[in-house]
Amino acid sequence: MRDVGIPTADFSVFTNYDEAMRYVQEKGVSIVVKASGLALGKGVAVCRTLGEAETALKEIMLDRVFKDAGTKVVIERYLEGQEVSIHALSDGKTHVMFPVSQDHKTIGEGDTGKNTGGMGVIAPLSFVSAELMQEIERMIVKPTFDALRKKGIEYSGILYPGLKLTSMGPKVLEYNARFGDPECQVYMRLLKTDLLDILDACVDGKLSDQQIEWNTGFAANIVLVSGGYPDEYKKGLPITGIGEAEKVPGVVVFHASTQHQGPALMTAGGRVLSVSAVGATLKSALDRAYEAVGKVRFEGMYFRRDIGAKSL
């Protein structure tokens, strides 16, 4: 991003704990500490105080809570603004943009508490205009694919940059080389064209010939997690009410961590189910999703009640 001028947060990279610690103490608050490797979506600490930053560095670099993922850390300036997810599909020659969506990353309502793998999504976003989407494509998506091509990388598949819409314009937080979860669930509800046809066209390098149609209206989904997640939680608890939930108009329940035990369905992880709904308005999609959530039960079940609330 630095090399080709794609807007991102100011950052420095460290492999030495003492140097990282000195940098953090100089910079003070409003920084983000990231374990550079894979950490199940838990390797990023948004630090509001110096103490939080010191703790994050110690846990990642000395205690090695994420094992070797913590050999290297990225320390970034905290960016203020709405967070949005962009998805683009490329066949290595051309790309197509998906509608913009918004995940809710933290466990607590009002965007508080620890980061998770995602607690709920809405799409599309009424606060992102067509002009802003064009700017994002021009300043971020296209230069990314161009830079990859220049490096000899024929990128075929989904590119999902996570952005913050700051007062200084859109900036990239990270790239994922896959669909977002739970973003994928709302895209599957909004996509009219068969996904297989689109992916086939992508593999064959014929994306520019492929029609891609989207349903009008909005989609929302609410993630149901085990009590205690993203820290310790229980597994193997019986789940009921999914059939009832899916009787609510426009609702589909996606399974993330569930397991059959005979005829019963049990929880099998932290993020258990994703309850999705479509509607003509964002409000109707959210109302339907929450109505369906009300039918599902398992011991300790937790979900955020404010998904999409800022956009209503």
Ligand X SMILES: Nc1ncnc2c1ncn2[C@@H]1O[C@H](COP(=O)(O)OP(=O)(O)O)[C@@H](O)[C@H]1O
- Provide the binding-site residues for ligand X, judged by CB under 6 A: 9, 32, 34, 41, 43-44, 46, 76, 78-79, 83, 105, 115, 162, 164, 173-174
For 83, the 3-state DSSP assignment is strand
Binding-site partner at residue 43 among ligand X, Mg ion, none, CB < 5 to 8 Å by type: ligand X
By C-beta, is 115 or 259 nearer to Mg ion? 115
Closest distance of CB 259 from ligand X, Å: 25
By C-beta, is 102 or 276 nearer to ligand X? 102
- State the Cα–Cα distance between residues 4 and 218, nearest whole angstrom: 35
Binding-site partner at residue 287 among Mg ion, ligand X, none, CB < 5 to 8 Å by type: none
Cα of 3 vs its chain's centroid, Å = 25
- State the Cα–Cα distance between residues 298 and 273, nearest whole angstrom: 11
By C-beta, is 75 or 222 nearer to ligand X? 75
By C-beta, is 46 or 293 nearer to ligand X? 46
By C-beta, is 164 or 189 nearer to ligand X? 164
Closest distance of CB 215 from Mg ion, Å: 26
Closest distance of CB 112 from ligand X, Å: 12
- State the Cα–Cα distance between residues 241 and 299, nearest whole angstrom: 13
Closest distance of CB 80 from ligand X, Å: 7
By C-beta, is 76 or 91 nearer to ligand X? 76
**Alpha carbon separation from 8 to 77, 86, 160, 175 (Å, rounded):** 10, 14, 15, 11
Backbone angles phi, psi at 51, to 5 degrees: -60, -40
| H or E segment to which residue 1 belongs | none
- State the Cα–Cα distance between residues 255 and 267, nearest whole angstrom: 10
Binding-site partner at residue 105 among Mg ion, ligand X, none, CB < 5 to 8 Å by type: ligand X
User: Which residue's C-beta sits nearest to Mg ion?
Assistant: 162
> In this structure, what token pair is assigned to residue 78?
């905290």
State the distance between the two ends of the chain, measured CA to CA, in whole angstroms.
Answer: 34
Binding-site partner at residue 292 among Mg ion, ligand X, none, CB < 5 to 8 Å by type: none
Binding-site partner at residue 44 among ligand X, Mg ion, none, CB < 5 to 8 Å by type: ligand X
Binding-site partner at residue 7 among Mg ion, ligand X, none, CB < 5 to 8 Å by type: none
Closest distance of CB 43 from ligand X, Å: 5
Closest distance of CB 176 from ligand X, Å: 7
Binding-site partner at residue 83 among ligand X, Mg ion, none, CB < 5 to 8 Å by type: ligand X
Chain residues that interact with Mg ion, rule: CB under 5 A: 162
- State the Cα–Cα distance between residues 35 and 22, nearest whole angstrom: 17
Closest distance of CB 123 from ligand X, Å: 16
Strand 82-85 and strand 156-166: pairing?
Answer: antiparallel
Tokens 């005829």, residue?
263
Query: 3-state SS of the chain: helix, strand, coil percent to 5?
Result: 30, 30, 40
DSSP 198: H
> In this structure, what token pair is assigned to residue 97?
């943009």
By C-beta, is 107 or 277 nearer to ligand X? 107
Closest distance of CB 79 from ligand X, Å: 4
By C-beta, is 115 or 258 nearer to ligand X? 115
Radius of gyration of the chain from Cα atoms?
A: 20
- State the Cα–Cα distance between residues 214 and 257, nearest whole angstrom: 28
